[in-house]
Structure 1
Amino acid sequence: MSFTGQWIGTYAGPANGHLVVNIDDVGSHYEGNASVLPFSRALPSSIFQFRTPSKAASQKFSAFTTPIHPHTLQPALWEDIKGLFSADVHHAQSVHATIELKNGKIHLQGNTEVGPYNAILDKAEASGESRLPGEKLSWAGFKNRISALSKTGFLFRGQAHPWKLCTSYHRAGRYRLSQFITRDVRQLHQKLSSLTDHYFDLSNPEQNGAFYSLLQHHGYPTPLLDWSYSPYVAAFFAFRGISKSLVSQDDEVRIYLFNHQEWVKRLQQSPVLDPPLPHVSVMEFISIANPRQVPQQAVTTASNIVDIETYITNIESTNNTTFLTAIDIPASERDTAMADLRFMGITAGSMFPGIEGVCEEMKEMNF
């Protein structure tokens, strides 16, 4: 078994808290980062980056630690923020750790200037069935249910199967977003600049976000998850992935409903893709050289979490609020749903302006 993955658990020591570790295989060794999140808000959170000497099942490493500003949630110098904490609170400057794979878990033991720590971490799974029970509705029942919803506050995501929520970046087996930002995006910017009418200035936050959205809408794995303000656009994407001839009576498509209005109200949102702490942040990028974004009524969540569904449901339990629900519709109603959506103007031709979309639309009608 490999260390590669996102590993989550709790640590024990002079203070107790959550620990999230992201590790990538980089050839002859592993490289990773860790977020240390104390249960007590009276203590600072921190991050550290590390690399292992080899790819053996037991590794030792040392790393410098960086505290997180409790208000901006960004890396900071301890000298600049220690006044925000009690005088008896200290922050460790370094960690010396041993990690070992045992029975599919990472066992970590570490020492710092403020004392020893230990943790057992489980691997977050990117694939698999959703554990969120979906409300079973017919296509007609879905339309009735949607008509009774509040007209604001919800985002919708359609999937051809009740899979758990996970970004394409994490499903592809990548975990350190710093590599995506500093390597992947710059490579793609170099390649795509000759193909787009607009030159994207990646130093401009709005254009940088628009470039990420362009990548997402053209199939490159990103840490973004697509949603729509329209439940019917979401339904189109759910049923679109179902083959007309291979539908089983037991198959279901899923529409996720995300109360993003309450989520944004209750949880601090990150303006960047790779903050030092776990997050799911709602982002609405401007549309530049991306004619698909507007007709799809697209909005995005960005996340550094592999199992987004579990993260959201854990937040629900501490906030006593339901943010995420789902509706499951028989896949056998595909033809009826797609015909209704066509009358609404929701077709491949309208969702994907261009030759590809028109051909898909005509294929849907004629085959």
Structure 2
Amino acid sequence: MQGQWIGNIDGEYKGTLRVELEKRGDRISGNAYLFYDQSHQLPGFRFPLSFNAVAPFVTETQTIYLFTDGGVMSQEDRNRIEAVLVRRFDKLPIPAKLNVEFVNEGADLIVKWWSDEYEPETLTLTHSDIKATSDLVARPDLTTWDQFRQWAVSQRPRNYIFRGQSQPHKLATTFHRTWRKDLNTWIVDDVRMLFGVTIERLSFPLQLGNMEHNAAFWNILQHHGYPTPLLDWTLSPFVAAYFAFCNIKPNDTRAPRIYIFDASAWNEKYGKLAFFADVAPPQLIVLESMPAGNPRAVPQQSVSTVSNIADIEAFIRHKEQEDDRTYLTICDLAADEAPKIMRELELMGITYGSVFPGLDGVCRDMKDRLFTEQV
């Protein structure tokens, strides 16, 4: 029952239902988010959830109105929208209160909802499984370091962003890799609590509620090990290569991977200057936040994506099918190229000390220089 579950709504009014559930003691809590395609000109909805962790999983929930592209409506906005909906449909399409039941069926979650005035409806949701094997296929034109390097220097800077991983795990944020899935609780409780205990240690005066300041603070949390809905990227293909290979030995059984994301094309279609992370449709936002309080951001040429989706790869693949274009590709290189790659990156000035400035970086650089076996 615990996890993130997503289902598509078909029929005359298409949309998505996203359910995020966490088990805490003898209770399961979380939120459901219903968003219709924007062409339908319908509001979104949030449904707070809380019920016993033993079957039957039944609860009553209240309807919270959201704007089409995210954000909670004021009572005044809700009253205005409800009047429009009544004129359009003769009654509200979603009642103020709903009864909801959840049933696990294998890898699926069956959601049933009803009220005194509305007939029961059901929808099957699929679990966002980030532990499954990645289905991305490596580019056949970038199978060696020489090919990747030549391709990288031929690209226009900032069109692509890159991510290096020592293993080909599916793309997922550090938040979604934990047992936690209710992003609303993370934003309302975690962030406020962490801001209170860290504000005196921040050299730059950040203010929660300011979107740019929120992004900067989330990045600080991310770079100091706290799980966030951010995923780290870089504008540099060579910094990404460093993170893919910095701990790889020539006989390593791991398969280093470099992700190549066409951020320019993605932003053209899905870019946002302002956003809501939780109370929003399924989304992936490219975020180049100010480096306040984060000395690693500039040398790493850091860029982040923020997402309310656990399985980011599946979400991008779905958008690629809808748009008939490719946004995400991968380059898988052989582990036995590690010595050559790391030697060239050092000549470029990309070392542990350069991407992690400070005493730790200096010591790691000296260790790599004096203790690494000569080949």
Within the alignment, does 1:217 sit opposite 2:223 as a pair?
Answer: yes
Unaligned runs of 5+ in 1: none
Is the contact between residue 71 and residue 276 of structure 2 (CA under 8 Å) also seen in structure 1? no
- The 3-state SS of whatever aligns with 2:109 is strand
Within the alignment, does 1:101 sit opposite 2:104 as a pair?
Answer: yes
Within the alignment, does 1:344 sit opposite 2:348 as a pair?
Answer: yes
Q: 1:200 to 1:40 in 2, by over 3 A?
A: closer
Partner of residue 52, structure 1: 50
Deviations 1:258-302 (A, max 9, x none): 111111111253523323321101111111121100011111100
Q: 1:14 to 1:252 in 2, by over 3 A?
A: closer
Q: Say which is worse superposed, 102-111 or 343-352, in terms of deviation.
A: 102-111
Q: Say which is worse superposed, 8-17 or 310-319, in terms of deviation.
A: 8-17
Partner of residue 267, structure 1: 270
Report deviation, 1:15. Answer: 5.0
Report deviation, 1:43. Answer: 5.4
Report deviation, 1:13. Answer: 8.1
Q: Distance in 2 between matches of 1:157 and 1:316?
A: 19
Report deviation, 1:61. Answer: 1.1
Partner of residue 190, structure 2: 184
Q: 1:37 to 1:99 in 2, by over 3 A?
A: same
Q: 1:52 to 1:68 in 2, by over 3 A?
A: closer
Q: 1:128 to 1:260 in 2, by over 3 A?
A: same
Q: Distance in 2 between matches of 1:86 and 1:154?
A: 46
Report deviation, 1:32. Answer: 1.6
Q: 1:337 to 1:14 in 2, by over 3 A?
A: closer
Unaligned runs of 5+ in 2: none
Report deviation, 1:196. Answer: 3.2
Q: 1:209 to 1:346 in 2, by over 3 A?
A: same
Partner of residue 327, structure 2: 323
Is the contact between residue 107 and residue 118 of structure 1 (CA under 8 Å) also seen in structure 2? yes
Is the contact between residue 258 and residue 323 of structure 1 (CA under 8 Å) also seen in structure 2? yes
Instruction: Letter of the 1:4 partner, please give it.
Output: Q
Q: Distance in 1 between matches of 2:97 and 2:46?
A: 8
Report deviation, 1:194. Answer: 3.5
Within the alignment, does 1:230 sit opposite 2:231 as a pair?
Answer: no
Q: CA RMSD in A?
A: 2.3
Q: Distance in 1 between matches of 2:14 and 2:293?
A: 48
Partner of residue 258, structure 1: 261
Q: Say which is worse superposed, 86-95 or 177-186, in terms of deviation.
A: 86-95
- The 3-state SS of whatever aligns with 2:214 is helix
Counterparts of 1:33-48 in structure 2 under 5 Å? 33-38=31-36, 41-42=39-40, 44-48=42-46
Give the one of 306, 311, 320 matched to 2:310: 306
Deviations 1:35-69 (A, max 9, x none): 22345832524323333331013211111223333
- The 3-state SS of whatever aligns with 1:171 is coil
- The 3-state SS of whatever aligns with 2:172 is coil
Give the one of 292, 295, 302 matched to 2:299: 295
- The 3-state SS of whatever aligns with 1:88 is helix
Q: Distance in 1 between matches of 2:65 and 2:199?
A: 37
Instruction: Letter of the 1:353 partner, please give it.
Output: P
- The 3-state SS of whatever aligns with 2:63 is strand
- The 3-state SS of whatever aligns with 2:40 is coil
Report deviation, 1:12. Answer: 6.5
Q: 1:174 to 1:315 in 2, by over 3 A?
A: same
Partner of residue 247, structure 1: 252
Report deviation, 1:33. Answer: 1.1
Q: Distance in 2 between matches of 1:28 and 1:247?
A: 44
Instruction: Letter of the 1:73 partner, please give it.
Output: G
Instruction: Letter of the 1:91 partner, please give it.
Output: P
Give the one of 54, 59, 70 matched to 1:73: 70
Give the one of 119, 127, 137 matched to 2:131: 127
Q: Distance in 2 between matches of 1:273 and 1:8?
A: 16
Is the contact between residue 58 and residue 101 of structure 1 (CA under 8 Å) also seen in structure 2? no
Give every structure 1 segment of 4 or more consecutive aligned residues whose post-TM-superposition deviation is greater than 6 Å: 83-86
Partner of residue 153, structure 1: 159
Q: Distance in 2 between matches of 1:200 and 1:233?
A: 28
Deviations 1:15-46 (A, max 9, x none): 55422111111222111211223458325243
Instruction: Letter of the 2:71 partner, please give it.
Output: Q
- The 3-state SS of whatever aligns with 1:356 is helix
Instruction: Letter of the 1:105 partner, please give it.
Output: D
Q: 1:224 to 1:146 in 2, by over 3 A?
A: same
Deviations 1:90-117 (A, max 9, x none): 3312321111122232111111555431
Report deviation, 1:202. Answer: 2.1
Q: 1:342 to 1:7 in 2, by over 3 A?
A: same
Instruction: Letter of the 1:229 partner, please give it.
Output: L
Q: Say which is worse superposed, 42-51 or 282-291, in terms of deviation.
A: 42-51
- The 3-state SS of whatever aligns with 1:306 is coil
Is the contact between residue 47 and residue 64 of structure 2 (CA under 8 Å) also seen in structure 1? no
Deviations 1:145-185 (A, max 9, x none): 21233334111111111111100000012111122122222
TM-score of the aligned structures, taking structure 1 as reference length = 0.90
Instruction: Letter of the 2:207 partner, please give it.
Output: D
Within the alignment, does 1:31 sit opposite 2:29 as a pair?
Answer: yes
Within the alignment, does 1:142 sit opposite 2:148 as a pair?
Answer: yes
